[in-house]
């Protein structure tokens, strides 16, 4: 039973370390840099005629946002992406905001476009994160065992 408990602890450490690496990889400025961001807006106003006689035309429209982002990935966090030639990627995302509310979704579409560019590459590098987590966990375990062994010898047991 003690063996299962130890393995479960290691599994939790692996998962926690992989999540930490994933969060770091998805952080702008550390995991990637957005080089160029362009947002194009298009006002969409449908023409609906008033069926009840003369009067103003009615209709509800919106704004169509199209965002393109060019991203450079950090080679230390995305080595498999660089290996496959995806160190610099471009991604386009479109969202419709309607009815017309001038608060807009400009910043939402920018952040969604960045995430859409980086997330698939992060998933591609999960094996790398597993390997790094394994090396760190086992190295830490060896250092702790060595430190405990030295303390044991110094105490004269």
Is the pLDDT at 57 greater than 70? The verdict is: no
Residue 146, Cβ neighbours under 10 Å: how many?
10
Summarize pLDDT for 83-137 with one digit per residue, the tens.
888 889 888 888 777 665 444 566 777 888 888 888 888 888 888 888 888 888 8
Task: Note down the domain range covering 31.
Answer: 20-49+56-126
- 113 located within any domain: yes
Give the pLDDT score at 50. Answer: 52
pLDDT tens string 40-56: 877 776 655 555 555 55
44 in a domain, yes or no?
A: yes
* Number of separate domains in the chain: 1
In a domain, 154, yes or no: no
- Residue-level pLDDT at 51: 54
Q: What is the pLDDT of residue 106?
A: 66
76 in any annotated domain: yes
- Across 12-16, 21-25, 101-105, 136-140, the highest mean pLDDT is recorded for 21-25
The reply to whether 34 falls in a domain is yes
Residue 153 included in any domain: no
80 found inside a domain: yes
Q: What is the pLDDT of residue 52?
A: 57
Does any domain span residue 155? Answer: no
């Amino acid at each position: 039973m003690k063996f299962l408990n130890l393995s479960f602890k290691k599994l939790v450490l692996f998962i926690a370390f992989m999540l930490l690496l994933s969060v770091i990889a998805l952080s702008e400025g550390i995991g990637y840099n957005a080089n160029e961001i362009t947002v194009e807006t298009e006002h969409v106003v449908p023409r609906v005629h008033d069926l009840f006689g003369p009067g103003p035309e009615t209709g509800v429209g919106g704004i169509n946002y199209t965002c393109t982002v060019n991203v450079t990935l950090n080679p230390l966090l995305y080595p498999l992406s660089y290996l496959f030639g995806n160190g610099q990627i471009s991604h386009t995302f479109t969202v419709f905001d309607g009815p017309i509310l001038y608060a807009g979704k400009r910043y939402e579409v920018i952040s969604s476009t960045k995430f859409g560019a980086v997330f698939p590459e992060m998933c591609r590098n999960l094996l790398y994160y597993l390997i790094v987590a394994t090396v760190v966990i086992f190295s830490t375990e060896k250092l702790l065992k060595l430190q405990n062994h030295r303390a044991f010898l110094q105490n004269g047991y």
